[in-house]
Structure formats: structure tokens, C-alpha cells
Structure 1
Amino acid sequence: MGIVKGTDMSLKFRLAASFVGLFAIVLCMFAGTTYVTLSQKDDGLVINLAGRQRMLSQKMTKEVLLFMQNGADASKAQVKKTGQIFSGTLRALSRSGKAPLTLNINGPTVHIPAPNEAIKKQLQNVDAQWNIYSKMVDNILSGSKAVSPESLSDNSLHLLKEMNKAVVMMQSDAEGKIKMLTLIQVGFTILSALAVILVLFMVHTKITKPLDRLRLYAKSVADGNLDAEISGEYSAELLALKNAIALMVKKIGETIAEAVEKGDLAEANSRRAELALADAKEKQEEVEALLAAMKDGAENAGAISNDVFQSIGELAAQVEQVNRGVDIQRDRITETATAMEEMNCTVLEVAQNASNAAESAGQSKEHAQTGAEGVDRAIGSIDKIYKRIMGLKETMGDLGKQADSIGHIMNMITDIADQTNLLALNAAIEAARAGEAGRGFAVVADEVRKLAEKTMDATKEVGDAVSGIQKNAKENIQAVELAAEDIIKSTDAASESGGLMDSIISIVDETAGQIQSIAAASEQQSATSEEINRAVGDVSTVASETAEGMATSAQTLKDISDNVEKLNSIVQSLGHLESR
């Protein structure tokens, strides 16, 4: 079975923390890029204006030299105009402020941000050199001949060198910002890639693989292997899902085993009840036949006994007249007594057999009652199975709810991935606005968008797996409901069998009462036969004393002989019934 880790963080917390971390990385990268980009916004303009200062210094020198040649007022005005543009631009570069955007002093201006300390210090050197140069120009414009063209050119060259140093420093500062932007983008890109790889690894190990193992386990159980085991490690919601599935399969196995056992027991009890019923019917038929035969025999024996008593009465009336044939009469009477004794034995055996049949009927009744009790127990067991299956249905419903909660988590992951994708798109738009400087950031934003799309694809696969589990849970619930309906039908059938067993018990009980009545009648008939036997003995004694009267009653003896033969036939028929 899977290894339990009850202290793991929930999947919802892990996924939320992962995507919040990824979002924080992207946000930090965006903030850093925005900061560097904003700091670079005026670098190109500043470098261009600083480069223009180099050109203005040389332009101004040429204009001063031209003035020195022609002394024209126009040349003088042009020198002053160029000096104003150079001075205003230098002041804005050094201290921040507005600088002329064109060579027209009255034209549009642009705000220049304050430089860093190193550039500011270099611009101060430029300003000092400009003060020297501008004084020389002022002297020349005022008509002084103290400044030679060579001196002017040398100072102009010094001013150009100092300004060129400032431009180089500005360019180096701009390149440093670009390098820092590149490092920020590369660093955060690597960090984002590592974070995405970590998230994908966590999703694969903590969600995708466990869900795939659960899918294989569910398929194995669906194929009939209830002894299958869930392998691997699980945590948080998936651990609860794994335990719920394992408990569900365990209860299904126990329920099926118990149902099979109870079904076998009910079937065995039913077979025993059917055998007992068949045996009882057979005994009932034999007893009914025996009762009919004994009834006929009893009626014939009663008629013959009446005839014998009448013949003996005639012999008693003629006892004084009959003397011959006493020995023959004695023999016949002796034979009659023997036959009556045999009939008495036969009747006793019939009574004993009837008692045995009554005992067998009682045993059949006990077996039928046992079968009815077995049916009642089967009904109780089936009812317990029905309750357990309904409990299993509720457990499977809880399983479906847990799978739905995982689906909600997947929806949250999809929403986060959509937001990440939208953020990457916004970052790409901002990078496009930044132009060439934002190209590297655009590449990073595109990679983040691709990683977000991969995350959405992985989330979709997890969602499909969860949908499969939900579908299997619904199918199992439907199967449990069908099993519950079958158990209800089994309960109805068992109840009907219990009613039939009660009817069998009533029939067997009635049969046992009839057999006991037969036994009582047979015992009464045996007592009557005993009395007849004693009467025949008395007749034999009287016949011995009245031998002379017997001679005249030959016809009567003949009638007695015929009746005795009939009695023998009846006894023989009773003997045949006994053998049956």
C-alpha cells in the first residue's frame, strides 16, 4: 500500500505558493526592467546634446575666427548666439534644467535630468574651461587684439577634450545601465525557468504520477482484481483520495464475500427444505394409502366378526343337541384364534409404523422450521448487506466530492496560468514600446508566456485525469445502486421462501396429526382384536363342553369356515400392506 505522509502541505497551498512565487519573480523582473528602462529614457537625448556641445565648441571657434577676419556684426551676433546655446546646454547638463533642443535659442527646449557625481564633476571641469574660453571670445568680440588665433584654437581644443571626456562618461554610464538591464533579465529569466521547472516537477511528482497510479489501480479493480494494491507515495488531498478508494474497494470485497457466503448458506438451506418437503410428501402418500387399506380391512373385519359371533350364537343354542364333530369344531376355533392373534400382531405393527411415521413427520416439521429460520437469517443478512452497500454509496459520493475539490484546484491553477500569460503579454507590449532596449525583455516575456501555456496544458491533463476518476466514481455509484436493487429483489424472494416454509410447516404439522390419529385407531383396533381372541377362547371352551350340540350345526360350521377364509384373506392383505 502507499506510504502515508500526513504532515505534507496541501496541494492547494503548494500550487498557490508556487504560482505566487512565479508571479513575484516575474513582477520583480518587470519592476527592475522598468526601473532601468526609465533611468535610460533620457540617456540618448543627453548623449546627443553632449555630443552637440563638442560640435558647438568647434563651430564657435570657426565663427570667432571669421569675425576676426571680417569684423562683421553678423558674425559677432552668430558667435553670441552659439555661445548662448552652448552655455544654456552646459548649465542644464551640469545642474539639471531645460536645454535648447535645436540651434535656435528661442526654439523648443527639453528637460535634462541631473547627472551622477562623476559626470557632474567632469562637467564642472568643462564649465571651468568654458569660462576661460568664453572670456577670450568676449575680448575678441570687444575688439581686443590680445588674444591670438592660436591661443583661441588651443583653448577650444582643451574645451573639446574636456567635453569629449564627459560624453564618453555619459556613454559608459548608459552602457552600464544596459548591462545591468541584461543581467537583471538574464538572472530573473533563469530564476523563472528554475521556478517553472520546480512547479512542473512538483505537479508531476505530487499530482500527475499519483493520479496515474490511482487510475491504473482503479482499472485493475474494474477488471475484477479486488486484491490489487495502491503503490507509491501520496500526500494531502491525494492521500485522502487514495485512502477513500482503498476503503471503498475493501468494503466492496467484504460485501461481495459476505453476499456469496450468505447466498451459499441460503441455497443449502433451500435444498434441505426441498428434500424435507419431498420426503414429507412421499410419507404422506404412503400413510394415506395405508390408511385407506386399513380402513377397508377394518370394515371387512368388523363384518366378519359379526358373522362369527352370530354363528357362535347358533352353536350355543344347539350345544345340547350337537356332539359330533367337536374335535373338528375345536380345530377350526383354534385356527380362528391363531388367525386373530396374527391379525393382532399385524395391527400392532401397523400402529408402530404409524407412530414411526408420526415421528418422521415431527422431524420433517423441525427441519422445515430450521429451514424457515435459515431463510429468516438470510433475510437479515441480506438487509445488513443492503445497509452496508448504502453506506458504501455514501462513501463513494464523498469520493466524488473530493475529486470535485481537486477539479476546483485545477481551475484555480488554470486561472493563475491565464493571469501569468496575460502578464507576459503586457510585458511584451511594454518591451515593444521600449524599442531596441526592450528586445531582451520581450524574449523573456515570450518565454514566460510559453511556460504559462505549458502549465495550462499540464493542468488540463490533470483535469482530464480527475474527470476520469469522477466518471469511474459515478459508474461505481450506479453499480452499487443496481446491487442494492438486486438485494431488495433477493430480500423479497427470501421473504416469499419464508412464507412457503411456513406453509410447509403447517402442512407437515397437519400430516403429523393425521398420522397420530391413525396410530391411535390402530391401537384401538388391536385392543378390539384382543377381546375377540379372548371371546374365541371362551367359545372353544364352551364347544368342548357341548360337543354333542356341534354335530347338528354342520351348516353353521361351514359358514364359520367360509368367514374364517375371508378373514384370512383380509389378514393376508394386511400382511401385504405391512410389507409395503
Structure 2
Amino acid sequence: MTIKFNKISTKIKVIGALLILLVVGVIGTTIYLTQQNIKDALVINIAGKQRMLTQEISKSIFYIQYSGVYDFKEADKATTEFIYGLSTLKNGDKEKGISAVSTSEISAQLQYVEKLWDSFYTDIKEYKQLVYLEIKQEQRISEIIESIHINNSILLENVDKLVTMYTDHSEGKINFIRTFQYLAGIMLFLIFIYSIIQLKTIESNADAFMQYSKMLADNEDISNLTPIEIQAESESEIVEVSDTINCFINKINSAVEYSNEALLQSQKASSKLEELTDEFDSILGELKDKSLACKHLDNSEDMVIASTEELMNSTKKLANLKKELDELLKNCQVLK
């Protein structure tokens, strides 16, 4: 099935479909990415909290070491939260609507942070074991404290990097929304311009058609009607209507021309017969003494007269035909 793009209905449907698709696309994309940004904000918050937890763990260990009070509640609580947060960032959380890692760069950084955490957590567990021994291994404890201090700085730096990567990823989505909205706005403007151009074209063709219709209604001379001229690339509905009117006008012009020619020929024939009648009258005057010849000539004259009357009747009928055609055209103009 071939679609005609020069039809008024097709143009309206195409413009409407483009507008609907574009508006639905903008709304759907904006809603989806907005929801994603909300989840990204939650992920960034978790990643930022990981940074705070590493500092809290290190601070608690240092306090225990220099105070001599072996209370690991705060350190254990921070450690549990850090492990849960790291698992959430890596594997996601269906209850909170958090998806797993979305990019390979973030995944690689998470793996590196997890590796650093394993080393950091190993030192903490070993420290907890050493401080409860009856015989203190001061040298080893000092080494572990130093290792915790160094690893905490490295871990903190890489967690910061992870937070930055999550932030950049979220901002990338925001920039995508902004760019998409700009492009959608430009497309809407172009569709608006295209709609105005098409409407102007349709209006111009319709005005030309209406002006021609008024000309037909006001034109009293129907002897030679001029067909309407519509551009070939005009809307198919207007072209079809103009072709129908032009066909009707051409038929009327042909009928009027034919009736005029027939009327002219009948008038010429009548004139010729009148001349013949006059000639017969003169001949009858010369042969009035010859009774037999007169009789035949009278019969011939009667035949000529009868033929003349028939031609005159034909002329009247043709004149009536032309009158009827004129009335038909006027009635068509009144109906329009």
C-alpha cells in the first residue's frame, strides 16, 4: 500500500504522530533518568559514608591503643556498616532499588577498594587478637598500628575516587537529560516551522480554489470557460477536486462549441434554401403558361419549402439545446 504524502490528511497525521512520539519520548526519558538519578544519589550517599566509616574505624583503633580501654563496639559497628555498604555498591540492593555496578570503570575501582579493605580488615582482626594476649607483642602491635594508619590513608583516597566516579556517572546522566531536552526542543521548533509551511501551502491552494469558484459564480459569459490551474505538487484532495471541475468545464465547453457550430451550419443551410426558393419563384414566373411544368415545379417548391421548415425547426431545437446548456451551467454555478 503506497502512502501519499501530498494528502492533507497524511500531512496532519505525520505531524501529529511526530509531536506525540517526541513528547512521549521526552516525558518517558525524563521520568526514567530522574528515577535513576534518585537511585544514584542514594548510591553516592552510601559511597560517601564508606569514607567516613574508614576514618571512624581508624580513630577507634588509635583511641583503644593509647587509652588502654579495649572497647571495640564502635569499631565493630563501623566495620559491619562498611562491609554492608561495600556489598551494596558491588551487588546492589533490591529492597532499596539499587542496581549493581553499571560501568566497568566503577567495577574495577570497587574491586580495588575491596582488596584494600581486606588488607585493612585483616590488620584490625589481628590487632584485636593481640591485645587480649597475656603476653603483649608490643613490636607486632606497633607494626599493625602503623599498617592501619598507612592503609587507612590509601583506602580513604580510593574511596574518595570511587565517590567521584559515582558522582561523574550521575552527572553524565543529568547532562544526557539536558542534551536530550535541548535536542527535543529544537525538533519541536522544526516541526512547528514545518507545520506552518504546510498550513500556508494548504491555505494558498485552498484560496486559489475558492477564488476560481467565485469567478465561475460571477462569470456571465459561459462561451469559453478557462479550467482552473493547480500546481502538480498540491494536496491530492485539491488536485482531485480541481480535475473533476476541469473535466466538467471541458465537457460544457465542448457542448457549447458543438451547439454553436451546429447552429451556424443550420443557419447557412437555411440561407441557401431561401436563395433556392427565390430562384424557383423567378423560374415559375417565366414558365407560368406551361401548366405541366408548373405542376412539377410547384411540387418541387413545396418540397423545398418543407425542407426549409424542417431546417428551421432543427435550428430552433439547436438553439434550445444551447439555451438548456447555458441554464445547466448557471445552475451549477448557483449550487457552488
TM-score (norm 2): 0.66
Q: How big is the shift at 1:197? A: 3.1
Q: Which residue of 2 aligns with 1:478?
A: 335
Q: Which residue of 1 aligns with 2:120?
A: 133
Correspondence 1:78 to 2:74: yes
Larger radius of gyration, structure 1 or 2? 1
Q: 1:382 aligns with which of 316, 320, 323?
A: 320
Alpha-carbon spacing, 1:218–1:388, altered in 2? closer, same or farther (3 Å):
closer
2:259/2:318 contact within 8 Å kept: no
Q: How well do the aligned residues superpose, as a CA RMSD in angstroms? A: 4.5
Q: How big is the shift at 1:217? A: 2.0
Q: Which residue of 1 aligns with 2:197?
A: 201
Correspondence 1:244 to 2:233: no
Q: Which residue of 1 aligns with 2:218?
A: 223
Q: 2:111 aligns with which of 107, 124, 138?
A: 124
For 2:49 and 2:33, how far apart are their aligned partners in 1?
25
Q: Which amino acid aligns with 2:212?
A: Y
Correspondence 1:40 to 2:37: yes
The answer for unaligned runs of 5 or more in structure 1 is 1-7, 99-108, 266-362, 394-473, 480-580
Q: Which residue of 1 aligns with 2:52?
A: 55
2:93/2:99 contact within 8 Å kept: yes
Q: 2:232 aligns with which of 231, 234, 250?
A: 234
For 2:246 and 2:314, how far apart are their aligned partners in 1?
33
Q: Which amino acid aligns with 2:157?
A: K
For 1:141 and 1:385, how far apart are their aligned partners in 2?
122
Alpha-carbon spacing, 1:369–1:228, altered in 2? closer, same or farther (3 Å):
closer
2:106/2:162 contact within 8 Å kept: yes
2:232/2:239 contact within 8 Å kept: yes
For 1:60 and 1:183, how far apart are their aligned partners in 2?
43
SS in 1 for 2:166: helix
For 1:252 and 1:32, how far apart are their aligned partners in 2?
61
For 2:247 and 2:89, how far apart are their aligned partners in 1?
79
Which one scores higher on RCO, CA 8 angstroms, separation ≥ 6? 1
The answer for unaligned runs of 5 or more in structure 2 is 132-137, 266-300
Q: How big is the shift at 1:126? A: 1.2
TM-score (norm 1): 0.41
Residues matched between the structures, number: 289
1:177-222: CA deviations, max 9, x gaps? 22223333333443443344334434433x2222121122223333
1:74-110: CA deviations, max 9, x gaps? x421211111011111111023236xxxxxxxxxx63
Question: Higher helix fraction: Structure 1 or Structure 2?
Answer: 1
Listed as ranges, the matches of 1:47-446 within 5 Å are 47-72=44-69, 75-97=71-93, 110-115=96-101, 116-144=103-131, 145=138, 146-147=141-142, 151-205=147-201, 207-224=202-219, 230-235=228-233, 236-250=236-250, 374=312, 377-379=315-317, 381-382=319-320, 386=324
For 2:173 and 2:106, how far apart are their aligned partners in 1?
15
Alpha-carbon spacing, 1:84–1:244, altered in 2? closer, same or farther (3 Å):
same
Alpha-carbon spacing, 1:122–1:139, altered in 2? closer, same or farther (3 Å):
same
For 1:86 and 1:237, how far apart are their aligned partners in 2?
72
SS in 1 for 2:100: coil
Alpha-carbon spacing, 1:9–1:43, altered in 2? closer, same or farther (3 Å):
closer
Q: Which amino acid aligns with 2:183?
A: G
1:232-252: CA deviations, max 9, x gaps? 513433222222233444555
Alpha-carbon spacing, 1:122–1:167, altered in 2? closer, same or farther (3 Å):
same
1:221/1:228 contact within 8 Å kept: no
For 1:21 and 1:136, how far apart are their aligned partners in 2?
63
Q: Which residue of 2 aligns with 1:347?
A: none
- Report % sequence identity: 23
For 2:310 and 2:78, how far apart are their aligned partners in 1?
126
Q: How big is the shift at 1:168? A: 0.5
1:18/1:199 contact within 8 Å kept: yes
For 1:219 and 1:71, how far apart are their aligned partners in 2?
108
Alpha-carbon spacing, 1:382–1:34, altered in 2? closer, same or farther (3 Å):
farther
1:57/1:156 contact within 8 Å kept: yes
For 1:157 and 1:89, how far apart are their aligned partners in 2?
19
For 1:22 and 1:263, how far apart are their aligned partners in 2?
63
1:68/1:140 contact within 8 Å kept: no
SS in 1 for 2:96: strand
1:210/1:232 contact within 8 Å kept: yes
